Amino acid sequence: MNSRKRLPANAAEVASDKFGLAASNVAPRRIDAATLFAAGPEIVITHGLETYRLRLTRQNRLILTK
């Protein structure tokens, strides 16, 4: 019998394990980056009490900072 712990298959399973949420078979929401950055190259994301900044660089890369 294999006693190794099974690794999560996707981000939803990781969130489920980490936050005790029920696993869902619903596909994650897709949002086009052009929609997010329509007003400028930086957006602010709040998650609980934390604030994050998501920036689009000149090289068309995304940088998420706390």
Domains, the chain, ranges and CATH?
31-66 (2.10.70.10)
> What digits encode the pLDDT tens for the residues 20-44?
666 667 888 899 999 999 999 999 9
Strand, helix or coil at 36? helix
Query: Is it the case that residue 3 has pLDDT exceeding 80?
Result: no
The pLDDT, as a whole number, for residue 37 is 96
Global pTM reads 0.60
Is 2 or 10 the better-scoring residue by pLDDT? 10
pLDDT more than 90, % of the chain: 56
The pLDDT, as a whole number, for residue 27 is 87
* Cβ 33 vs Cβ 62: under 8 Å: yes
The pLDDT, as a whole number, for residue 25 is 77
Distance CA 50, CA 66 (A): 8
